[in-house]
Amino acid sequence: MSECRREREPGERLGRFEIQERIGTGGFGNVYRAWDPSIGREVALKTCESEATSVRERFAREARLAGGLDHPNIVRIFDFQDVDPPWFLVQEFLDGEDLSTRLGGGPPLSDPDKFRILDETARGLAYAHGREIVHRDIKPSNLRLLSDGSIKIFDFGIAKWIGGDQSMTRPGVTIGSLGYMAPEQIEGGEVDQRADVFAIGIVAYELFAGHRPFPGEGIGELFQRILFDEPEPLTSVAPDRPAELDALVLHCLEKAPARRLSTADEFRVRLAEAARAAEAHPRVGPAGLSRKGIRGDRNDRFA
């Protein structure tokens, strides 16, 4: 195994950064919690363990796109090292846990928690879209619930700059994650911010219904359902949910982008209306969690 590919051990250094532990595996390599002695803070190092030119180009592209974003609901990129192997991103260390982990077995989230999670996700997306960046991989495992209750969008590995160089995304190529892809992604068509709106609609449905709107046993069945099936309304799955929330989610999940809710800002406006309706007619359920008390499905990705 080459030096570029082997896993780093605690105490080893990458540049000036001292490895503390491996905390995850990314699309291109590993993610480590590390210490930056120059500034005296913890950081996360995301490495590129591949020697393939196409993979390194995509990794560098992630650094350029995500590194230009500065928003409280998006992970911050501090630096990018592309001189000696392994290449790595230096980003803020995020405590808490992924939303997928919380949904997979943590304490139930209250409705106010769910509305806040969606609102903060939409805030981050609206900011990115305003800079012509589409994430293309919004899903619970790419949303981090921090210990203070806030949320961060991370992993811009397959993000797209609208109107920029499309050489990394050839026409007809499917890119995204199973279960959260918009129809145009599945078909390899042109993708804009409305694909992220579709994905946040799926996350919203999953939060309030307890499952995704398009179930499927395999890739073929899942894609068939996303492309041709209409989701069961939230009011059928969970009758105590407000009609405003049902209408919002169904609008997000329109098959044709032209009929879909257009922007994350529109999503936030409609979400606020649904939250007010829910507050006016509270449901019986688990006690709400305070912001301080919140802690934060890996799906195979096509890329």
Check if the beta carbon of residue 234 is closer than 8 Å to that of residue 245: yes
Which amino acids are annotated catalytic? 137
**Does 5 fall in a domain?**
no
Tell which phi-psi region holds residue 185, choosing left (phi > 0), alpha (psi between -120 and 50) or beta: alpha
Residue type present at position 271: L
Same structural domain for residues 88 and 113?
no
Task: Answer yes or no: do 115 and 216 share one domain.
Answer: yes
What CATH number corresponds to the domain at position 21? 3.30.200.20
Q: Is the confidence at residue 131, as pLDDT, over 80?
A: yes
What local confidence, expressed as pLDDT, does residue 281 receive? 81
Structural domain contains residue 67: yes
Q: Are residues 166 and 198 in the same domain?
A: yes
Residues 102 and 227 in one domain: yes
H or E stretch covering 13: strand 13-14
When mean pLDDT is compared across 177-186, 193-202, 274-283, 289-298, the lowest value belongs to 289-298
How far apart (Å, rounded) are the C-alpha atoms in residues 17 and 259? 48
Q: What percent of the chain has pLDDT over 70?
A: 86
Domain co-membership, 51 together with 196 = no
Q: Flag whether 3 is in a domain.
A: no
**Residue 23 maps to a domain:** yes
CATH code of the domain covering residue 174: 1.10.510.10
Q: Considering its fold, how many domains does the chain have in total? A: 2
Residue 287 in this model has a pLDDT that exceeds 70: no
Tell me which of 33, 61, 92 is where a domain ends.
92
208 in a domain, yes or no? yes
Is residue 34 over pLDDT 80?
A: yes
H helix runs in 163-263, sequence order: 183-186, 193-209, 219-228, 234-237, 243-252
Quick one: DSSP state of residue 14? E
> Whole domain around residue 40: which residue ranges?
13-92
Residues 105 and 71 in one domain: no
Range with top average pLDDT, 25-29, 57-61, 166-170: 57-61
Domain boundary residue among 69, 92, 115? 92
**Do 247 and 193 share a structural domain?**
yes
- pTM recorded for the entire structure: 0.88
> What sections of the chain are H helices per DSSP?
53-67, 99-103, 111-130, 183-186, 193-209, 219-228, 234-237, 243-252, 264-280
pLDDT averaged over every residue in the chain? 88
Average of per-residue pLDDT across 227-231: 96
The last residue of one of the domains, among 57, 72, 92, is 92
pLDDT band at 170 (very low <50, low <70, confident <90, very high): low
Q: Model confidence at 7, in pLDDT bands (50, 70, 90)? A: confident
Same domain flag for 190 and 214: yes
